[in-house]
């Protein structure tokens, strides 16, 4: 994202739609950026490459967590 940092993107998404679940996907993420994104409220970070089963597992976990809350 050339104009927004990952954390700024999450902030903007949450401003537009509070409570929206956010799953980040990345080909590379260092520990500092990962921590920044998690602190900003990303629910999960999927590391590329991933397959449909990985995505479905994360979505299921996200939905299950939201159902409990």
pLDDT at 1: 54
Q: Where are the domains of the chain?
A: 6-68
Q: Which residues of the chain have pLDDT under 70?
A: 1-2, 69
Closest by CA position to 25, among listed 8, 5, 50, 52: 50
pLDDT at 69: 62
Q: How far, in Å, CA of 9 to CA of 55, rounded? A: 21
pTM above threshold 0.75: no
pLDDT at 37: 76
* Architecture of the domain whose range is 6-68: 3-Layer(aba) Sandwich (3.40)
């Amino acid at each position: 994202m050339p104009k927004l940092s990952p954390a700024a993107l999450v902030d903007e998404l949450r401003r537009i739609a509070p409570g929206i679940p956010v799953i980040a996907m990345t080909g590379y993420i260092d520990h500092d950026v990962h921590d920044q994104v998690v602190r900003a409220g990303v629910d999960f970070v999927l590391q590329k490459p991933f397959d449909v089963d990985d995505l479905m597992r994360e979505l299921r976990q996200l939905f299950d967590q939201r159902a409990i809350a």
